[in-house]
Structure 1
Amino acid sequence: MDTYLKLVKDDSWDDEMLLSVMRLCSEELDREAVEGSSQGPPRARIYIPRDREGAAERLHRDYFAQQPTFPDYKFKRRYRMQPQLFERIIAGIRDCTINPLPTHFAYFRHAYDAFGRQSFNIYQKCTSALRQLAYGMAGDMWDEYLYMSEQTSLNCLDNFCLCVTDLYKDEYLRKPTERETQRIYEMYETRHDFRGMLGSIDCMHWEWKNCPVVWQGSNNDINVLKRSPLFDSIKNGSAPPSPFTVNGHDYTHGYYLADGIYPDWAILIKAYSSPTDEPSAKFTRFQESARKDVERTFGVLQGRFNILRVPERAWSAKKMHHILYCCVLLHNMIQEDNDFAITSLDEEYLRDPENRPIFVRNRNTTRAAREKEIRDKDVHNALRVNLTEHI
């Protein structure tokens, strides 16, 4: 191109020669548009013929036939769940009856492209999504097996996460009821000897590779706690009653075990930083041992869905939000499928959401008063002393 442009500057050329040079320039531009150049990506889209029908047959033969090529333990390793749970999710997405049907559910319906070819079926799309969640690889990692382009794979992931969240959030991300809270109390008292314990609180960090510079900053445990909706139901007075008694003293709320970075709140119980006697040293050992549960949970979650371990390549925080919610929901479903659930769902509670009870502890107190009660340092210290004597 540079040579042609320099030659055009020669005034000795006639019109015919100039037309020839212009034609050569046009041909060169067309060639670069099709083949691309070393200075940037190709300017024209290149069609790659993919045998999606053959890929669908192979996937069915490998995992979903009456006598599949790979046994169930291979399925569980690659899909992170048992085949029956995967079929349950498939059925939930396929048989969704929401009217009008959301676009993320419609994405998994049978469709045909402009050439009349059938699109990828729901098994191929869900397999692509789960493989990305399980292995945390790029979108085109499974192109050779599923014959699915990178953009189609990313679309499968986005829509799958939205579907799972819509279908199962009311069941697997709900607040515990009064009866479930008492069951949680019993379980933790039996397991760790902590009466009134609701669990442990901690943070898991997930790196965002494509985070905009303007959004980067410190997102430590305290900042996350201030933005967390965990205690909103207590602050607005809608939390179910959860009283308990320890060492002869009555308390209104359950509490969470926390490490030293968290504040001294009435609902956060920390270990002694420098125990001075045997009872406080014993309490510290028990508290640190029980608090390991939440760290193990994060470890299992990241090990099961490796996408949470590697830097995320999404271009929006909203997509990361959907992916994280989907992983937590799937984790809870897998735990239930493995008979590790603490309580079973009250079907009537889920079937009739309008009649779910809303508990108000004290209508005479304001939100500010309830928040002050949560942050009461004196209650924190008194409860820790009573727990120390109890243990």
Structure 2
Amino acid sequence: MSSSSDEENAGNFFLGMILETAKIVAEMEEDGEDEETSQPRTRVAALNRDREGAYERLAGDYFSKNYVYTNEQFGCRFQMSRQLFVRIANDLANYDDFFTLRYDGRGRRGFTTFQKCTSPLCQLAYGTASDSWNESLTMSERMSWGCLYEFFKGIVNLYRKVYLRRPTKKDIGKLYTFHEETHGFPGMLGSIDCTHWQWCNCPVAWCDQYMSGDIGYPSIILEAACSQDLWIWHALFGVVGSNNDLNLLTRSHVFDDIDSSFMLNGVSYKHGYYLADDTYPSYTAMVKTIPELSDEKRKKMFAKWQELARRDVERLFDVIKAKWGIIQQPAHAFEPKKVRYIMYACLILQT
């Protein structure tokens, strides 16, 4: 009897606590409703943007029959020809309805395909903030950032398999011939190297794995291999900055699925080779400067030609940074996936 009475008292106690808590919560909600009703809710007034007028000015300056700015001026501002811009805009409009002209639920006119492509290209070329083109395109910061991300995503999904593809047997033969005639290295596939892109908005919990001791800030590594004419046929971006050139090769696919056999002086070699700096491991597919050689004159001559030919990939990094201002600055995206889209899109547009 005593145990049953104790259980009944405990149940009554917990029931009373629940009822008391519910009463307190109800009183708090009533007080909150009184405060909300006494202070009316205000919303930011929508700006009266002349989107149609902005498109007419944009079309009159660049895309009409009697456009104002010449092809040279267009190329300087957009880092591409007018024909290429129109082609990319049409491909994006066919790929995703986001880049088409749409109307919202209130019947308000949206932005056209050219407006949605002009904003990300201006941000890409000049590295400016998303709201810096508000006056000319009448586009808000949120819309500009949305266009920028969707533009990068569309470029990568549309053109990556074409412009960042692996070289075929015919392409490899052209690379061998071209590099032998240009640099004097038979069997050379290209030059390979890595560079770091600072990530200023890296989450604090990830800073240690994205930070390297010799750099001092979070970064993401880009590994690229290119030919003398800056054709990028291998690009790996997204490896955390704490890695180096040695352990980066374990994640790279630069040696995979390439039939690169060649003949030299009657001897058949199974794989071609890359020109690399001294930080890479001593693989047969990596040709570096000879550290020690009895003939000092031959050593200096080989080192000179090897370093000159190896600068192709370094020149690629400089060209990309000079052409696309967004890479000159630290990456501001909060997600690694968006940072990868930005880098791959810049590589595709460069190719």
If the length of structure 2 is used for normalisation, what is the TM-score? Answer: 0.76
Return structure 1 stretches of 4+ with deviation > 4 angstroms: 25-30
**Counterpart in 1 of 2:100?**
109
Q: How is 1:1-391 mapped onto 2 (pairs within 5 angstroms)?
A: 29-30=39-40, 34=42, 44-96=43-95, 105-216=96-207, 217=211, 218-233=242-257, 239-240=258-259, 242-276=260-294, 277-332=296-351
Give, in whole Å, the separation in 2 of the partners of 1:133 and 1:273: 42
Secondary structure at the aligned position of 1:206 is classed as strand
Deviation at 1:45, TM superposition (A): 3.6
Give 1:92 shift.
Answer: 1.5
Higher strand share: 2
Residue-by-residue CA offset, 1:136-194 (whole Å, 9 max, x unaligned): 11111111111101111111111111211122112111100001101000000000000
Please list every run of 5 or more consecutive structure 2 residues that lacks an aligned counterpart in the other structure. Answer: 1-31, 212-241
Identical aligned residues as a percent:
43
How far does residue 273 in structure 1 lie from its aligned partner after superposition? 3.3
Go from structure 1 to structure 2 and tell me whether the alpha carbon gap of 1:280 and 1:248 turns closer, same or farther (over 3 Å shift).
Answer: farther
- CA distance in 2 between partners of 1:26 and 1:125 (Å): 39
Contact residue 275 and residue 284 of structure 1 kept, 8 A? no
Deviation of residue 70 (structure 1)?
1.3
Change (3 A) 1:220 1:213: farther
Matched-pair contact (CA < 8 Å) for 1:173–1:329:
yes
Residues 275 and 117 of structure 1: is their aligned pair in 2 closer, same or farther, counting only changes over 3 Å?
A: farther
Relative CO higher for 1 or 2, CA cutoff 8 Å, sep ≥ 6?
1
Distance between the aligned counterparts of 2:50 and 2:101, measured in 1?
A: 17
> What is the letter of the counterpart of residue 265 of structure 1?
Y
Aligned pair in 2 of structure 1 residues 314, 283: CA closer, same or farther (>3 Å)? same
1:308 CA drift (Å): 1.1
Give the Cα separation in 2 of the matches to 1:219 and 1:190.
Answer: 35
CA contact (8 A) 1:275 1:281 kept: no
Post-superposition Cα deviations, 1:225-266, rounded to whole Å, max 9, x if no partner, equal 332222232xxxxx33x2123355431111110001111011
1:314-358 Cα distance to aligned partner (Å, 9 max, x none): 1101001111111111111xxxxxxxxxxxxxxxxxxxxxxxxxx
Name the SS for the 1:272 alignment partner: coil
**C-alpha distance in structure 2 between counterparts of 1:302 and 1:224, whole Å:** 22
- Report the Cα distance in structure 2 between the residues aligned to 1:267 and 1:176, rounded to whole angstroms: 16
Q: Distance in 1 between matches of 2:130 and 2:262?
A: 50
Which of 181-190 and 245-254 deviates more?
245-254
Q: Distance in 2 between matches of 1:248 and 1:210?
A: 55
C-alpha separation in 1, matches of 2:332 and 2:102: 29
In structure 2, distance between residues paired with 1:107 and 1:135: 24
Rounded to whole Å, the distance in 1 between the matches of 2:315 and 2:276 is 14
Letter in 1 for 2:317: F
Q: CA deviation at 1:298?
A: 0.9
User: How much does 1:119 deviate?
Assistant: 0.9
Moved more, 49-58 or 210-219: 210-219
Preserved CA contact (<8 Å) 1:207 1:312: yes
For residue 292 of structure 1, give the secondary structure of its aligned residue in structure 2: helix
Q: What TM-score, normalized to structure 1?
A: 0.69
What is the number of residues matched between the two proteins? 286
TM-aligned CA distance change 1:66 to 1:272, over 3 Å: same
- Specify whether residues 249 and 282 from structure 1 end up closer, same or farther in structure 2 by C-alpha distance, changes over 3 A only: farther
Question: Structure 2 CA distance, aligned partners of 1:219 and 1:132?
Answer: 30
Contact 1:195 1:245 (8 Å CA) reproduced: no
Question: One-letter code of the match for 1:297?
Answer: L
Structure 1 unaligned blocks of 5 or more? 1-21, 35-43, 97-104, 234-238, 333-391
